[in-house]
Amino acid sequence: MITETIPQIVYEKLKSSRTIGVFTGAGMSAESNIPTFRGNEGLWKKFKPEELANFDAFMRNPELVWEWYSARKKIIHGSKPNPGHFALAELEQLIDEVIIITQNIDNLHRRAGSTTVYELHGNIERNYCIKCGEHYSDDVILSGSLPPICTKCNGLVRPDVVWFGEYLPQDEFSASENAARMSDVFFSLGTSGIVYPAASIPHIAKYAGAFIVEINPETTPLSEIADITILGKSGIILPEIINELKSIKNEGT
Ligand code: BJW
Ligand code: ZN
């Protein structure tokens, strides 16, 4: 079902849920003013993410790739979690287990207070040398010249994120698969659902019998497996859902 309002069945399913899985993408942070990858807005629309987020592009032109990351690091450092992130953190007070599986690298779920967060595509606040593996903080990286060079071995330093053609962190991916299998309700929020293997996670939840709720202003390939697609912004719809669920749970006590 595709709808612009929140159907009652969403509350019925949530009320009886023990474990909720939440899969998030760039749209989750759009209301924190962090540009998405494939929207129409934004400073970097002359490049496709595939053209910058890959190792060959980095080796060919590390200055350009670092220009992109340093601009995004600055946006992310200056951003705050939005009401959608806070609503998910608050959901932990209402449901036994809430597991966030995010493709985002911006750390906003943890900053909002969510406690179980699996990061499938890394974290932009970390950096490491491609030659010796030495880690560098953003304070060091952003105060020097770009591209940053390792002080231990002269290797190039890169952000600790997952680029196209690279494997996802195996532990976090396996934990996400397990969470998807255990979920009673599974949310897909603010993702175009086209980048694999991350986009297989909602399919695993569906196959295991979860009730799938998608929130996105537009339909996506994941709408086909969603039980409900709510057309709207996660920063508006999620607080509505959590507030209503709170009053339903309070009535029942
Ligand atoms: C709102 C909203 C609001 C707006 N509220 N919603 C052919 C077929 C299938 C697969 C492949 C293929 N060719 C290659 C592949 C594999 C490839 C892939 O999937 N490519 C596809 C694009 C075709 N995948 C990989 O390479 C992955 N690795 C891999 O496969 O390893 C195995 C392997 C290893 C070695 C050799 C061969 C294979 C790695 C993928 C890594 C992706 N990395 C990035 C960059 C991360 C670092 C960084 O941030 O810089 O991850 S790319 C980018 O896309 C980023 C995102 O996490 C990811 C997903 O994007 P997301 O989050 O969905 O954002 P958008 O912008 O697409 O969508 C935003 C959505 O929000 C929209 O729907 C809006 O409507 C909505 N929205 N406002 C709610 N307010
Ligand atoms: Zn090094």
CATH code: domain of residue 60: 3.30.1600.10
Residues 172, 87, single domain; the answer is yes
Residues 87, 150, single domain; the answer is no
Q: For this structure, is 77 an active site residue? A: no
pLDDT of the chain along its 253 residues, tens only? 999 999 999 999 999 999 999 999 999 999 999 999 987 665 567 788 888 999 999 999 999 999 999 999 999 999 999 999 999 999 999 999 999 999 999 999 999 999 999 999 999 999 999 999 999 999 999 998 999 999 999 999 999 999 999 999 999 999 999 999 999 999 999 999 999 999 999 999 999 999 999 999 999 999 999 999 999 999 999 999 999 999 998 887 6
Residues 183, 220, single domain; the answer is yes
Q: Does the Cβ of 26 fall within 6 Å of ligand 1?
A: yes
Tell me which residue of 26, 127, 93 sits closest to 242, measured CA to CA. 93
Q: Does the Cβ of 158 fall within 6 Å of ligand 1?
A: no
For 122, list phi and psi in degrees, rounded to 5. Answer: 90, -160
Cut 0.85: pTM above it = yes
Sign of torsion, CA 28 199 38 220? negative
Output the pLDDT for position 48: 85
Residues 92, 70, single domain; the answer is no
- Top mutation candidate among 73, 109, 196, 223 for ligand 1, by most atoms within 8 Å of CB: 196
The closest residue, in CA terms, to atom 58 on ligand 1 is 195
Output the pLDDT for position 40: 63
Output the pLDDT for position 249: 84
Contact status, residue 222 vs residue 191, Cβ threshold 8 Å: yes
Ligand in closest contact with the CA of 149: 2
Number of structural domains found in the chain: 2
3-state SS of 93-108 is CCCCEEEEEECCCCCH
Q: Which of 77, 85, 121, 203 is catalytic?
A: 121
Ligand in closest contact with the CA of 134: 2
Show the tokens assigned to 96.
């036994």
The closest residue, in CA terms, to atom 77 on ligand 1 is 27
Residues 136, 187, single domain; the answer is no
Residues 141, 200, single domain; the answer is no
Beta strands 2-3; 185-189: pairing state: unpaired
Of 112, 141, 161, which residue sits at a domain end?
Answer: 161
Give the range of the structural domain holding residue 73, as residue numbers without chain letter. 38-78+124-161
CA torsion, ordered 234, 239, 244, 248, to nearest 10 deg? 110
Q: Does the Cβ of 35 fall within 6 Å of ligand 1?
A: no
Output the pLDDT for position 9: 97
Q: Does the Cβ of 169 fall within 6 Å of ligand 1?
A: no
Contact status, residue 192 vs residue 25, Cβ threshold 8 Å: yes
- Report CA(242)–ligand 1 centroid distance (Å): 28
Residues 140, 116, single domain; the answer is no
Residues 136, 210, single domain; the answer is no
Give Dmax (Cα) for the chain. Answer: 63
Residues 30, 151, single domain; the answer is no
Residues 63, 85, single domain; the answer is no
- Report CA(94)–ligand 1 centroid distance (Å): 31
Residues 84, 154, single domain; the answer is no
Nearest atom in ligand 1 to the alpha carbon of residue 68 is 50
